[in-house]
Structure 1
Amino acid sequence: MSYCSYVVTLSNDNVHKQYHDNEYGFPLTSDDELFARLVLEINQAGLSWTTILNKKDNFFKAYNNFNIRKVAKYDQKKIDALLNDAGIIRNRLKIHAAIENARKILEIQKEHGSFKSWLDKNHSLTKEEWVKLFKKHFRFTGGEIVNEFLMSSGYLPGAHTEDCPVYKKIAKLKPVWMK
Protein backbone atom coordinates (compact mmCIF):
# COMPACT_ATOMS: atom_id res chain seq x y z
CA MET A 1 0.00 0.00 0.00
CA SER A 2 1.38 3.42 -0.92
CA TYR A 3 1.62 6.24 1.59
CA CYS A 4 -0.99 8.08 -0.50
CA SER A 5 -3.46 5.17 -0.25
CA TYR A 6 -2.82 4.86 3.47
CA VAL A 7 -3.46 8.51 4.36
CA VAL A 8 -6.76 8.60 2.45
CA THR A 9 -8.15 6.40 5.23
CA LEU A 10 -7.08 8.81 8.00
CA SER A 11 -8.92 11.70 9.61
CA ASN A 12 -7.91 15.22 8.57
CA ASP A 13 -6.28 15.91 11.95
CA ASN A 14 -4.00 12.86 11.79
CA VAL A 15 -0.27 13.81 11.73
CA HIS A 16 0.35 11.62 8.68
CA LYS A 17 -2.56 13.12 6.76
CA GLN A 18 -1.35 16.65 7.59
CA TYR A 19 2.23 15.85 6.59
CA HIS A 20 1.22 14.04 3.39
CA ASP A 21 -1.16 16.75 2.23
CA ASN A 22 0.93 19.80 3.14
CA GLU A 23 4.63 18.94 3.33
CA TYR A 24 5.70 15.61 1.87
CA GLY A 25 7.28 16.06 -1.54
CA PHE A 26 6.67 19.80 -1.67
CA PRO A 27 9.78 21.68 -2.81
CA LEU A 28 11.54 23.43 0.07
CA THR A 29 13.04 26.81 -0.65
CA SER A 30 15.06 27.88 2.36
CA ASP A 31 18.24 26.34 3.68
CA ASP A 32 16.80 26.24 7.21
CA GLU A 33 13.75 24.28 5.95
CA LEU A 34 16.03 21.85 4.11
CA PHE A 35 18.22 21.47 7.18
CA ALA A 36 15.16 20.84 9.36
CA ARG A 37 13.95 18.10 7.03
CA LEU A 38 17.40 16.50 6.98
CA VAL A 39 17.60 16.47 10.78
CA LEU A 40 14.09 15.05 11.10
CA GLU A 41 14.91 12.30 8.60
CA ILE A 42 18.11 11.48 10.48
CA ASN A 43 16.18 11.29 13.74
CA GLN A 44 13.65 8.91 12.20
CA ALA A 45 16.33 6.25 11.66
CA GLY A 46 15.32 3.20 13.67
CA LEU A 47 12.03 4.76 14.73
CA SER A 48 8.61 5.29 13.23
CA TRP A 49 7.82 8.40 11.23
CA THR A 50 4.77 8.80 13.50
CA THR A 51 7.15 9.38 16.43
CA ILE A 52 8.97 12.12 14.53
CA LEU A 53 5.76 13.80 13.34
CA ASN A 54 4.40 13.80 16.89
CA LYS A 55 7.61 15.40 18.16
CA LYS A 56 8.14 17.77 15.22
CA ASP A 57 7.11 20.95 17.03
CA ASN A 58 9.39 20.01 19.94
CA PHE A 59 12.28 19.55 17.53
CA PHE A 60 11.75 23.03 16.11
CA LYS A 61 11.77 24.54 19.62
CA ALA A 62 14.77 22.53 20.79
CA TYR A 63 16.84 23.28 17.67
CA ASN A 64 16.14 27.04 17.44
CA ASN A 65 13.75 26.55 14.50
CA PHE A 66 16.64 24.82 12.73
CA ASN A 67 18.52 28.05 12.24
CA ILE A 68 21.68 26.64 10.71
CA ARG A 69 23.99 29.32 12.10
CA LYS A 70 22.69 28.83 15.64
CA VAL A 71 22.83 25.03 15.52
CA ALA A 72 26.39 25.14 14.15
CA LYS A 73 27.44 27.04 17.30
CA TYR A 74 25.96 24.59 19.80
CA ASP A 75 28.30 23.87 22.68
CA GLN A 76 28.38 21.14 25.32
CA LYS A 77 25.83 22.97 27.48
CA LYS A 78 23.33 22.98 24.60
CA ILE A 79 24.12 19.34 23.76
CA ASP A 80 23.42 18.40 27.39
CA ALA A 81 20.11 20.30 27.23
CA LEU A 82 19.15 18.41 24.07
CA LEU A 83 20.11 15.08 25.66
CA ASN A 84 17.77 15.91 28.55
CA ASP A 85 14.85 17.11 26.39
CA ALA A 86 12.16 14.40 26.46
CA GLY A 87 10.32 16.20 23.66
CA ILE A 88 12.87 15.11 21.05
CA ILE A 89 14.92 12.03 20.24
CA ARG A 90 17.73 12.02 22.78
CA ASN A 91 20.36 10.20 20.79
CA ARG A 92 23.90 11.54 21.18
CA LEU A 93 24.96 10.46 17.66
CA LYS A 94 21.95 12.12 16.05
CA ILE A 95 22.42 15.33 18.03
CA HIS A 96 26.10 15.51 17.09
CA ALA A 97 25.18 14.77 13.46
CA ALA A 98 22.77 17.74 13.45
CA ILE A 99 25.50 20.07 14.71
CA GLU A 100 28.19 18.76 12.37
CA ASN A 101 25.80 18.84 9.42
CA ALA A 102 24.89 22.45 10.22
CA ARG A 103 28.59 23.30 10.13
CA LYS A 104 28.99 21.49 6.81
CA ILE A 105 26.02 23.37 5.36
CA LEU A 106 27.71 26.64 6.36
CA GLU A 107 30.76 25.54 4.34
CA ILE A 108 28.53 24.62 1.40
CA GLN A 109 26.81 28.01 1.62
CA LYS A 110 30.18 29.74 1.52
CA GLU A 111 31.20 27.82 -1.59
CA HIS A 112 27.87 27.57 -3.46
CA GLY A 113 25.80 30.46 -2.11
CA SER A 114 23.27 28.19 -0.40
CA PHE A 115 22.54 24.61 0.51
CA LYS A 116 19.62 24.74 -1.94
CA SER A 117 21.94 25.87 -4.75
CA TRP A 118 24.26 22.97 -4.00
CA LEU A 119 21.32 20.55 -4.09
CA ASP A 120 20.01 22.16 -7.30
CA LYS A 121 23.42 21.83 -8.97
CA ASN A 122 23.41 18.11 -8.22
CA HIS A 123 19.76 17.47 -9.11
CA SER A 124 20.54 15.17 -12.04
CA LEU A 125 22.34 12.60 -9.87
CA THR A 126 20.95 9.11 -9.47
CA LYS A 127 19.82 7.97 -6.04
CA GLU A 128 23.07 6.02 -5.64
CA GLU A 129 25.16 9.07 -6.57
CA TRP A 130 23.19 11.21 -4.11
CA VAL A 131 23.89 8.72 -1.34
CA LYS A 132 27.63 8.76 -2.10
CA LEU A 133 27.64 12.58 -2.16
CA PHE A 134 25.79 12.84 1.16
CA LYS A 135 27.98 10.23 2.83
CA LYS A 136 31.01 12.21 1.68
CA HIS A 137 29.73 15.48 3.17
CA PHE A 138 27.34 14.67 6.01
CA ARG A 139 27.08 12.50 9.10
CA PHE A 140 24.40 9.87 9.71
CA THR A 141 23.18 9.85 6.11
CA GLY A 142 22.63 6.32 4.86
CA GLY A 143 20.71 5.34 1.76
CA GLU A 144 17.21 5.41 3.24
CA ILE A 145 17.75 8.74 5.02
CA VAL A 146 19.10 10.37 1.86
CA ASN A 147 16.31 8.92 -0.28
CA GLU A 148 13.57 10.11 2.07
CA PHE A 149 15.18 13.52 2.50
CA LEU A 150 15.39 14.02 -1.27
CA MET A 151 11.88 12.71 -1.97
CA SER A 152 10.31 14.66 0.87
CA SER A 153 11.95 17.92 -0.21
CA GLY A 154 11.23 17.66 -3.94
CA TYR A 155 14.58 16.44 -5.28
CA LEU A 156 13.60 12.87 -6.16
CA PRO A 157 10.29 11.57 -7.51
CA GLY A 158 8.21 9.04 -5.63
CA ALA A 159 6.68 10.93 -2.73
CA HIS A 160 3.19 10.57 -4.23
CA THR A 161 1.49 8.31 -6.72
CA GLU A 162 0.38 10.01 -9.93
CA ASP A 163 -3.30 9.50 -9.07
CA CYS A 164 -2.88 11.29 -5.72
CA PRO A 165 -4.43 14.80 -5.68
CA VAL A 166 -1.33 16.10 -3.87
CA TYR A 167 0.85 14.91 -6.79
CA LYS A 168 -0.98 17.38 -9.03
CA LYS A 169 -0.45 20.23 -6.52
CA ILE A 170 3.27 19.48 -6.35
CA ALA A 171 3.57 19.18 -10.15
CA LYS A 172 2.29 22.77 -10.46
CA LEU A 173 5.21 23.87 -8.24
CA LYS A 174 7.70 22.24 -10.65
CA PRO A 175 9.96 20.39 -8.22
CA VAL A 176 13.56 19.89 -9.27
CA TRP A 177 13.00 16.26 -10.31
CA MET A 178 10.46 17.38 -12.93
CA LYS A 179 12.93 19.71 -14.65
Structure 2
Amino acid sequence: MEEKIRCGWCVGDPLYEEYHDREWGVPLKDDAGIFEFLILETFQAGLSWITILRKRENFRSAFENFDYRKVAQFSEAKVETLMQDSGIIRNAAKIRAAVTNAQAFMKVQEEFGSFSKYIWGFVDGSPIQNDLQNLSEVPAITTISEKLSKDLKKRGFKFVGPTVVYAHMQATGMVNDHITQCFRHSEVKELQ
Protein backbone atom coordinates (compact mmCIF):
# COMPACT_ATOMS: atom_id res chain seq x y z
CA MET A 1 0.00 0.00 0.00
CA GLU A 2 1.43 3.34 -1.08
CA GLU A 3 1.58 6.03 1.60
CA LYS A 4 -0.10 9.35 0.84
CA ILE A 5 2.17 12.35 0.37
CA ARG A 6 1.11 15.18 2.67
CA CYS A 7 2.33 18.67 3.46
CA GLY A 8 5.26 18.13 5.81
CA TRP A 9 3.93 20.29 8.64
CA CYS A 10 1.31 17.70 9.63
CA VAL A 11 3.18 14.44 9.16
CA GLY A 12 3.60 12.17 12.17
CA ASP A 13 0.68 13.24 14.35
CA PRO A 14 -2.65 11.49 13.67
CA LEU A 15 -4.73 14.48 14.82
CA TYR A 16 -2.71 16.86 12.64
CA GLU A 17 -2.92 14.51 9.67
CA GLU A 18 -6.69 14.12 10.02
CA TYR A 19 -7.14 17.91 10.21
CA HIS A 20 -4.90 18.33 7.15
CA ASP A 21 -6.69 15.58 5.22
CA ARG A 22 -10.25 16.71 5.96
CA GLU A 23 -10.37 20.42 6.78
CA TRP A 24 -7.29 22.51 6.00
CA GLY A 25 -7.70 24.44 2.80
CA VAL A 26 -11.30 23.38 2.14
CA PRO A 27 -13.32 26.46 1.08
CA LEU A 28 -15.53 27.35 4.04
CA LYS A 29 -18.32 29.84 3.43
CA ASP A 30 -20.51 29.14 6.45
CA ASP A 31 -20.47 31.98 9.01
CA ALA A 32 -20.56 29.61 11.99
CA GLY A 33 -17.56 27.66 10.69
CA ILE A 34 -15.66 30.81 9.81
CA PHE A 35 -16.25 32.15 13.33
CA GLU A 36 -14.93 28.92 14.87
CA PHE A 37 -11.68 29.27 12.94
CA LEU A 38 -11.48 32.96 13.78
CA ILE A 39 -11.65 32.11 17.50
CA LEU A 40 -9.15 29.27 17.20
CA GLU A 41 -6.72 31.29 15.08
CA THR A 42 -6.74 34.23 17.49
CA PHE A 43 -5.95 31.89 20.38
CA GLN A 44 -3.19 30.32 18.31
CA ALA A 45 -1.30 33.63 18.01
CA GLY A 46 2.17 32.90 19.40
CA LEU A 47 1.47 29.17 19.83
CA SER A 48 1.55 26.10 17.60
CA TRP A 49 -1.58 25.05 15.76
CA ILE A 50 -1.35 21.49 17.14
CA THR A 51 -1.69 22.95 20.65
CA ILE A 52 -4.99 24.53 19.61
CA LEU A 53 -6.20 21.41 17.79
CA ARG A 54 -5.62 19.32 20.90
CA LYS A 55 -7.80 21.74 22.87
CA ARG A 56 -10.41 22.28 20.14
CA GLU A 57 -13.21 20.35 21.85
CA ASN A 58 -12.51 22.18 25.11
CA PHE A 59 -12.76 25.47 23.23
CA ARG A 60 -16.02 24.27 21.66
CA SER A 61 -17.47 23.65 25.10
CA ALA A 62 -16.09 26.84 26.68
CA PHE A 63 -17.26 29.06 23.81
CA GLU A 64 -20.82 27.76 23.50
CA ASN A 65 -20.14 25.63 20.43
CA PHE A 66 -18.62 28.73 18.80
CA ASP A 67 -22.01 30.46 18.70
CA TYR A 68 -20.99 34.08 18.04
CA ARG A 69 -24.36 35.36 19.31
CA LYS A 70 -23.72 33.80 22.71
CA VAL A 71 -20.02 34.67 22.82
CA ALA A 72 -20.86 38.32 22.06
CA GLN A 73 -22.83 38.42 25.30
CA PHE A 74 -20.17 36.94 27.60
CA SER A 75 -19.91 38.95 30.81
CA GLU A 76 -16.77 39.78 32.73
CA ALA A 77 -17.81 37.05 35.20
CA LYS A 78 -17.83 34.55 32.31
CA VAL A 79 -14.37 35.75 31.25
CA GLU A 80 -13.15 35.16 34.82
CA THR A 81 -14.69 31.66 34.78
CA LEU A 82 -12.92 30.88 31.49
CA MET A 83 -9.65 32.06 33.03
CA GLN A 84 -9.96 29.09 35.40
CA ASP A 85 -10.58 26.58 32.57
CA SER A 86 -7.37 24.59 32.11
CA GLY A 87 -8.81 22.99 28.97
CA ILE A 88 -8.32 26.19 26.95
CA ILE A 89 -5.61 28.83 26.61
CA ARG A 90 -6.07 30.96 29.73
CA ASN A 91 -5.12 34.32 28.33
CA ALA A 92 -7.43 37.10 29.51
CA ALA A 93 -6.66 39.36 26.55
CA LYS A 94 -7.47 36.58 24.06
CA ILE A 95 -10.65 35.58 25.91
CA ARG A 96 -11.83 39.20 25.93
CA ALA A 97 -10.84 39.49 22.26
CA ALA A 98 -13.13 36.54 21.47
CA VAL A 99 -16.04 38.50 22.95
CA THR A 100 -15.07 41.70 21.12
CA ASN A 101 -14.57 39.77 17.88
CA ALA A 102 -18.00 38.13 18.19
CA GLN A 103 -19.58 41.57 18.54
CA ALA A 104 -17.61 42.92 15.58
CA PHE A 105 -18.45 39.77 13.58
CA MET A 106 -22.17 40.48 13.99
CA LYS A 107 -21.72 44.12 12.91
CA VAL A 108 -20.01 42.90 9.73
CA GLN A 109 -22.92 40.51 9.14
CA GLU A 110 -25.35 43.41 9.46
CA GLU A 111 -23.37 45.47 6.96
CA PHE A 112 -22.67 42.77 4.35
CA GLY A 113 -25.47 40.27 4.90
CA SER A 114 -22.99 37.63 6.04
CA PHE A 115 -19.44 37.54 7.33
CA SER A 116 -18.63 35.07 4.57
CA LYS A 117 -19.61 37.55 1.88
CA TYR A 118 -17.37 40.17 3.52
CA ILE A 119 -14.26 38.04 4.01
CA TRP A 120 -14.47 36.15 0.70
CA GLY A 121 -14.72 39.52 -1.04
CA PHE A 122 -11.00 39.94 -0.39
CA VAL A 123 -10.33 37.07 -2.84
CA ASP A 124 -13.19 37.89 -5.23
CA GLY A 125 -15.21 34.94 -3.91
CA SER A 126 -12.83 32.23 -5.15
CA PRO A 127 -9.84 30.54 -3.53
CA ILE A 128 -6.37 31.62 -4.58
CA GLN A 129 -4.71 28.56 -6.08
CA ASN A 130 -1.01 28.45 -5.29
CA ASP A 131 1.33 25.92 -6.86
CA LEU A 132 3.98 25.65 -4.17
CA GLN A 133 6.69 23.04 -4.54
CA ASN A 134 7.83 22.90 -0.92
CA LEU A 135 7.01 24.28 2.52
CA SER A 136 9.71 26.94 2.33
CA GLU A 137 7.65 28.66 -0.38
CA VAL A 138 4.55 29.01 1.83
CA PRO A 139 4.25 32.65 2.89
CA ALA A 140 3.38 33.75 6.41
CA ILE A 141 1.91 37.05 5.20
CA THR A 142 0.59 38.27 1.86
CA THR A 143 -0.61 41.61 0.53
CA ILE A 144 -4.19 40.37 0.87
CA SER A 145 -3.71 39.22 4.48
CA GLU A 146 -2.22 42.62 5.31
CA LYS A 147 -5.16 44.39 3.71
CA LEU A 148 -7.71 42.12 5.42
CA SER A 149 -5.94 42.45 8.77
CA LYS A 150 -6.00 46.22 8.52
CA ASP A 151 -9.70 46.22 7.65
CA LEU A 152 -10.59 43.81 10.47
CA LYS A 153 -8.70 45.96 12.97
CA LYS A 154 -10.50 49.06 11.68
CA ARG A 155 -13.75 47.21 12.40
CA GLY A 156 -12.69 46.52 16.00
CA PHE A 157 -11.32 42.98 15.76
CA LYS A 158 -8.41 42.00 18.04
CA PHE A 159 -5.51 39.53 17.58
CA VAL A 160 -5.93 39.65 13.81
CA GLY A 161 -2.45 40.55 12.59
CA PRO A 162 -1.54 39.64 9.00
CA THR A 163 0.07 36.32 10.03
CA VAL A 164 -3.01 35.21 11.98
CA VAL A 165 -5.23 36.36 9.12
CA TYR A 166 -3.17 34.43 6.57
CA ALA A 167 -3.38 31.29 8.70
CA HIS A 168 -7.15 31.83 8.79
CA MET A 169 -7.23 32.21 5.00
CA GLN A 170 -5.31 28.93 4.65
CA ALA A 171 -7.50 27.06 7.12
CA THR A 172 -10.78 28.22 5.55
CA GLY A 173 -9.69 27.61 1.97
CA MET A 174 -9.45 31.21 0.82
CA VAL A 175 -6.04 30.09 -0.39
CA ASN A 176 -4.84 26.62 -1.37
CA ASP A 177 -1.36 26.27 0.12
CA HIS A 178 -1.12 22.50 -0.05
CA ILE A 179 2.18 21.79 -1.79
CA THR A 180 1.68 20.41 -5.28
CA GLN A 181 3.00 16.93 -4.33
CA CYS A 182 0.43 16.66 -1.51
CA PHE A 183 -2.54 14.46 -2.37
CA ARG A 184 -4.89 17.19 -1.09
CA HIS A 185 -3.61 19.89 -3.46
CA SER A 186 -5.60 18.70 -6.46
CA GLU A 187 -8.57 17.56 -4.35
CA VAL A 188 -8.92 20.99 -2.73
CA LYS A 189 -8.37 22.71 -6.06
CA GLU A 190 -11.46 20.95 -7.41
CA LEU A 191 -13.62 22.26 -4.53
CA GLN A 192 -13.68 25.86 -5.76
Output the TM-score relative to the length of structure 1.
0.87
Aligned equivalents of 1:80 and 1:126: distance in 2?
Answer: 35
**In 2, Cα distance between the equivalents of 1:120 and 1:127?**
12
Q: Secondary structure at the match of 1:161?
A: coil
The answer to whether the Cα contact below 8 Å between 2:145 and 2:163 also exists between their aligned partners in 1 is no
Does 1:140 find its partner at 2:148? no
Matched to 1:151, the amino acid is: Q
How far does the alpha carbon of each residue in 1:17-74 deviate from its partner, in whole angstroms, 9 at most, with x for none? 1111111111112211111101111111121212111101100111011101010011
Residue equivalent to 2:139:
none
Unaligned runs of 5+ in 1: 175-179
User: 1:130 — aligned with what?
Assistant: 148
Does residue 5 of structure 1 match 2:12? no
Map Cα deviations across residues 109-152 of structure 1 (whole Å, 9 max, x no partner).
Answer: 11111100111222247232122222222111112101101111
Change (3 A) 1:76 1:118: same
**Conserved 8 A contact 2:176-2:188:** no
**Equivalence for 2:128:** none
Give 1:6 deviation, angstroms.
4.1
**Would the aligned equivalents of 1:134 and 1:146 in 2 still touch at CA under 8 Å?**
no
What is the CA–CA distance in structure 1 between the aligned matches of 2:35 and 2:120, rounded to whole Å? 15
The structure 2 residue matched to 1:153, chosen from 168, 172, 182, is 172
1:29-48 to structure 2, matched below 5 A, reads 29-48=29-48
What is the alpha-carbon root mean square deviation over aligned residues? 1.6
1:171 matches 2:173: no
Q: Which structure 2 segments of 5+ residues have no match? A: 1-5, 125-142
- Code of the residue aligned with 1:109 in structure 2: it is Q
Dislocated runs of 4+, deviation >2 Å: 124-128
Tell me which residue corresponds to 2:118.
118
Shift of residue 77, structure 1, vs aligned partner: 2.1
Q: When you count helix as a share of all residues, which structure comes out higher?
A: 1
- For the pair 1:91 / 2:94, whether they are aligned, the reply is no
The residue identity in structure 2 corresponding to 1:10 is G
Aligned to 2:15: 15
Partners of 2:46 and 2:146 lie apart in 1 by 21
Q: Quote the sequence identity (%).
A: 38
Taking the aligned partners of 1:69 and 1:39, their CA distance within structure 2 comes to: 13
Please, which moves more after superposition, 137-146 or 101-110? 137-146
Contact 1:25 1:153 in 2 (8 A): yes
